[in-house]
Amino acid sequence: MTNVDQHAESMPAGNDGAGDGVAEVRVRRLHEDDWQELRPVRLEALQEAPMAFGSTYAREVAFTEADWRGRLGRTSVMFLAYGPDPDLPPIGMAGGYQPDWTPGAIELVGMWVRPSARGQRVGDPLVEAVVGWAGEVGAADVRLWLAEGNTSAQRLYARLGFVETGERQPLPHDETRTEIGMIRPAAPNPSA
């Protein structure tokens, strides 16, 4: 069981088949005042894996405090994952938001795991945190776009219940590459 909010709880993560290690992961939901924790992780992710995102480092390095706070508002959420050593920086992140064009759905965005933590199922509790939040806000589905060819991420999402929608679109900042759509049901709302 994972408690994902101000109080992070340690939990073992599983293995996505890419390695034999299992990480102890604490996941924490960020709030608007936590924007300074999100910024360096997001910028590092954009530099390390630029093709995994629909944005660029050059765009987001210029973001203002208001831009970063906006990512942690009422209709969006970000989670950071931490390993067992609280003095080390986060080992991953994932977020979700409610897009106007897809009523009843949450888009899973900004998923990234630090290279040194990959293959240890750090992504599992991050994805499940977003899926849980989707249920809390009453969404029926969680959708995502994945760069075609990112087989490790595709295996992760499939293992966690996502299926391909058959949708394809160009990667926003590189129209020579394609993204594929995936979907799964949101977690049931625990207060319903």
3 state DSSP class of 53: coil
| pLDDT of 107 strictly over 60 | yes
Decide if 77 contacts 29 (C-beta within 8 A).
Answer: yes
Partnered with residue 107 across adjacent β-strands are 97, 143
Place of tokens 């977003």: 130
**Whole-number Å distance between alpha carbons of 124 and 121:** 5
Find how far residue 26's CA is from the centre of its chain: 14
Residue 21 backbone dihedrals phi, psi, to 5 degrees: -80, 155
At residue 172 the predicted structure's pLDDT band, cuts being 50, 70 and 90, is confident
In the chain, domain spans = 10-185
| pLDDT of 2 strictly over 60 | no
The chain-wide mean pLDDT, for the chain, equals 86
| pLDDT of 22 strictly over 70 | no
| pLDDT of 21 strictly over 80 | no
| pLDDT of 50 strictly over 80 | yes
Q: Residue 7's pLDDT is what?
A: 35
Lowest mean pLDDT among 5-14, 111-120, 146-155: 5-14
**Whole-number Å distance between alpha carbons of 80 and 117:** 13
Average pLDDT for residues 99-128, to the nearest whole number? 92
Considering the four listed CATH numbers 3.30.1540.10, 3.30.450.260, 3.30.70.360, 3.40.630.30, the one that applies to the domain covering 10-185 is 3.40.630.30
Decide if 96 contacts 134 (C-beta within 8 A).
Answer: yes
| pLDDT of 11 strictly over 60 | no
**Whole-number Å distance between alpha carbons of 28 and 39:** 15
Average pLDDT for residues 32-42, to the nearest whole number? 96
Give the burial string for 108-134 (b: 16+ CB within 10 Å, else e).
Answer: bbbbbbbeebbbbbbbbbbbbbbbbbb
Average pLDDT for residues 93-122, to the nearest whole number? 92
| pLDDT of 4 strictly over 50 | no
Q: Residue 192's pLDDT is what?
A: 60
